[in-house]
Structure 1
Amino acid sequence: MADIDKVVSAILAAAQVSGAIRQPAERYVEQYREILALLDMEDSADRHAAAQRASHASAKEAKKR
């Protein structure tokens, strides 16, 4: 998240130079954060699904023994 904060700070610093771009920049930052949150949720879901598959495979292997 530190890299994200650097990007956000840079965008907002640039927006302060010109008041005309401040609102669009803030919307861009919000959209950027939303996209990153969605990607993080997707990654979490993928990790959860992989863990479930591994658990089921382990259970099947244990039944074979």
Structure 2
Amino acid sequence: MAELKVTQVRSAIGIKPKHRGTLRALGLRGIGKTNTLPDRPEIRGMLARVPHLVTVEELNSGTAGEA
């Protein structure tokens, strides 16, 4: 399964409370903090709400045993 590396690049100060809550739900607590999350529709939806605050990198799992 693919994973997403999400990094907060802008501050949550002065942004809408919904966006701040979304950052918290993604496990981001400050600028430069990174979290690795599974690539699921729920996560993609949260990322779509805060694209101006985060950067996203796709990581391949790299395991040879998966079908």
Same fold, TM-score > 0.5, yes or no: no
| Larger Rg over CA atoms | 1
With normalisation by structure 2, the TM-score equals: 0.30
Q: Which has the higher helix share?
A: 1
Query: Using CA pairs below 8 Å that are at least 6 residues apart, which structure has the higher relative contact order?
Result: 2
